[in-house]
Chain A
Amino acid sequence: MGQLVVSPSPHARSSVSTPNLMYGVIAALLPALAVSIFYFGIGSLIVTLTSVASCVLFEYLIQKFLLKQTPTICDGSAILTGLLLAFNLPSNLPIGIIIVGAAFAIGVGKMAFGGLGQNLFNPALAGRVFLLISFPVQMTTWPVPQGLATNYIDAETGATTLNMLKNHFGNVADASQMFLGNMGGSLGEVSALALLIGFGWLLYKRIITWHIPVTIFATVFVFQGILYLADPVQFATPVQHLLAGGLMLGAIFMATDYVTSPMSVNGKIVYAIGIGVITVVIRNFGAFPEGMSFAILIMNAFTPLINNYIKPKRFGEVK
């Protein structure tokens, strides 16, 4: 027999590991990717592959040559960032712009803060918002769903549902079509159904808890409901707002990002209410038709504060 190993208890570990959580989330995104390819065709596939490949490559290069670490691209976090970034982009975005976005997401959004676990803001959203303010035209021309289209840059474009709702024009798709994803928008955000399937998977695998997504849904529903009841002509229905734009994608996959969301259950609820309220305010009163990305980034900034002030309920707490 070799030497006995002496380590502190516990000697048992759960089978959950960081890579397996990351790949779990990636698996949860696949239905939405499939729907996206179905509606937006080849463009969606090109954007996704470019984004994932460049995120992984930038992470590798930065770790290897700038930070002189052993690259950890196999843990799946860069793949996930790439996938989420792609999901927030229109499917006709030129490849060059995607690469710039990926460089920003990984380089500034993640590695500049110290890599996995250290970043203050969701890297994919940081990349997306960077592109949105750097390339406002390209980032807001949305292809219309055509069903397995084979054109990429030259796809037929149209307005997103949120834009129509805000500025009162065009024919807004009915709720069931919106639920399936048959509307214009970023490539991964359109199908509420596919995203909810992913949500179910995440809950089943215990990768995330229900608190953040459900609280966001509830907040948006209630707040938008109040606005709608106050003035049904000016404001859209809460159901339309739940299904349109990046709300589902943001609430299920972006707001629940481990690194940038609060640790305690109560903290998560406060954070989610904040996201819901800010989203509704931006969507109804702000300059942009969509406010999910900004709402999440703003609440990301509040996360350290929330962690500091909202603590989990302790056992046997003496008041």
Chain B
Amino acid sequence: MFKTFKIGGVHPEANKLSAAKAIVGAQLPKTAVIPLAQHIGAPANAVVQKGDKVKVGQLIGEANGFVSANIHSSVSGTVSKVDLAVDVAGFKKPAVYIDVEGDEWLETIDRTDALVTEIKDDAKTIIGKIKDAGIVGMGGATFPAHVKLSIPDGKKADFLIINGVECEPYLTADHRLMLEKSAELIVGIKILMKAINVDKAYIGIEANKPDAISKLTDLCKNEQGIEVVPLKLKYPQGGEKQLINAISGREVPSGKLPIDAGAVVQNVGTAFAVYEAVQKNKPLIERIVTVTGKTVREPSNFRARIGTPVADLIAAAGGDLEASGKVISGGPMMGKAMTNLESTVTKGTSGLLLMAADESERAAAGPCIRCAKCVDACPMGLEPYLLMQYSQRQMWAEDEANHIMDCIECGCCIFSCPAKRPILDYVRLGKNTVGKIIRSRKQ
């Protein structure tokens, strides 16, 4: 019997077009544009200048405070400028431009494929190495990993959950990683377990990836305390709170963090990056990016350097931009629609999805028929239709009283709405405003 979370959820079409495609290395870009703000928290401070020669893996941006992350050069070459670069949303953010010359790595990085299973470091050193390597949540949230692994005083983690759910339609980056780097992944999980001092880890994988489930289950037979948990197909199972609930039955209390339910959740991509950082001394300079969509000739999984222009990857996969109306960074449920194609791959770019022109625009919204489908679909047990009405009328106090801050913005409400109403747009607006009100109250 497959497990799943208990409230709400929807079943979008999976469309895993690139599931059978092995990961291939993407071509090195001519110029890498590496943003200094690729994570949640303060942007990193540039530590290189125009004209500096850099090698692959060299630090180019230093974390600015605890909730921030280091940025490393993903290519070797000359820094041509430190200037603003456009991000997916069209905002201009500081970035380091590097003209690529050859592919020269720092000598300290172990570039061999040899599996290093022995974990020599203690917890503190591990977290230090993860911090130095600039690892962030690779599922797309990009929250600095070392912050999540530094458990606050007075709290204790009971178990580690590894998120291999990949409930977003289309995306297959995590799926391919689990298949192709299973052994490394297991070592990564053991490192994470040591870092947060737990003796139990669960790998949550949805039932539509039977090959990954069986491969990892076989590998875990010889491991103490690592268990693969097959999960029923349901979105948003990859949400932290939903995944903890599905696997352990625990509920993260409203307004609290997973650690308050005794859980630490990390993505499989993060676990693999941790393996590379701790065992191979390799900072986070590349990631797996799924380039997919119905208008992509050859949906693919690329291992791409951070800073590779997204247009290069789309071209490499044979993306037909003429027939597409929308390009999404991430999956169709939570990904961001791009305003331009000038941005580059960042640590959080889990996929590039091209939507056909006729699927790109929203259908016209009709009146709410109070069918309660949004209420049934909401995995947080909220009343999205009501929150939308309150936000439209700027009734922020009512929004707050109806727990708008619990919303995880998964989009189940808007997905299930038969009247095609922009429910989540207004809920987000309400959430932003109520968040500001709450913060101003605390001051």
Assess whether B186 is interfacial by the CB under 8 Å rule.
no
Interface string of A99-136 (1 = CB under 8 A from B): 00000000000000001111000000000000000000
Tell me if A117 and B338 are in contact (CB < 8 A): no
Tell me if A12 and B418 are in contact (CB < 8 A): no
Assess whether A6 is interfacial by the CB under 8 Å rule.
yes
Assess whether B53 is interfacial by the CB under 8 Å rule.
no
Within 8 A of B (CB), among A227-286: 258-259, 261-265
Interface Cβ pair total, 8 Å cutoff: 160
B233 to chain A minimum Cβ distance, whole angstroms, is 15
Main secondary structure of the interface of A (DSSP, over half): loop
Assess whether A5 is interfacial by the CB under 8 Å rule.
yes
Tell me if A18 and B419 are in contact (CB < 8 A): yes
List chain A residues, Cβ under 8 A from B251: 315-317
Q: Are A264 and B375 CB-contacts (below 8 A) given A314-B381, A314-B406?
A: yes
Tell me if A115 and B334 are in contact (CB < 8 A): no
In this complex, the interface size class of chain A, counting residues with CB under 8 Å from chain B, is 35 or more
Tell me if A312 and B383 are in contact (CB < 8 A): yes
Tell me if B411 and A10 are in contact (CB < 8 A): yes
Tell me if B425 and A17 are in contact (CB < 8 A): no
Alpha-carbon gap, A313 to B381, bound state (A): 6
Interface string of A142-154 (1 = CB under 8 A from B): 0000000000000
Alpha-carbon gap, A188 to B422, bound state (A): 37
B342 to chain A minimum Cβ distance, whole angstroms, is 11
Question: Residue among A16, A17, A262, A314 with the most chain B CB within 10 A?
Answer: A314
Question: Residue among A13, A18, A318 with the most chain B CB within 10 A?
Answer: A13
Q: Are A312 and B418 CB-contacts (below 8 A) given A8-B428, A263-B372?
A: no
Tell me if B367 and A116 are in contact (CB < 8 A): yes
Assess whether B24 is interfacial by the CB under 8 Å rule.
no
Within 8 A of A (CB), among B205-255: 241, 245, 251-255
Q: Are A13 and B375 CB-contacts (below 8 A) given A2-B357, A117-B369, A316-B254?
A: no
Question: Residue among B252, B336, B360, B367 with the most chain A CB within 10 A?
Answer: B367
Interface string of A1-44 (1 = CB under 8 A from B): 11011111111111011101100000000000000000000000
B428 to chain A minimum Cβ distance, whole angstroms, is 7
Assess whether B181 is interfacial by the CB under 8 Å rule.
no
List chain B residues, Cβ under 8 A from A116: 366-367, 369
Assess whether B204 is interfacial by the CB under 8 Å rule.
no
Alpha-carbon gap, A98 to B13, bound state (A): 45
Closest to A17 in B: B418
Question: Residue among A20, A115, A317 with the most chain B CB within 10 A?
Answer: A317
Assess whether B371 is interfacial by the CB under 8 Å rule.
yes
Q: Which B residues contact A (CB, under 8 angstroms)?
A: 7, 10, 12-13, 169, 241, 245, 251-256, 321-322, 324-328, 330, 332-341, 353, 355, 357, 360-363, 366-373, 375-376, 378-383, 385-386, 403, 406, 409-411, 414-416, 418-420, 422, 424-425, 428
18 additional contacts (CB under 8 A) given A6-B338, A10-B424, A258-B372: A2-B357, A5-B360, A8-B424, A9-B330, A9-B332, A9-B336, A14-B10, A16-B373, A16-B418, A17-B420, A21-B369, A21-B371, A117-B369, A263-B375, A263-B383, A315-B380, A316-B251, A318-B255
Q: Which A residues contact B (CB, under 8 angstroms)?
A: 1-2, 4-14, 16-18, 20-21, 72, 75, 77, 115-118, 209, 258-259, 261-265, 311-318
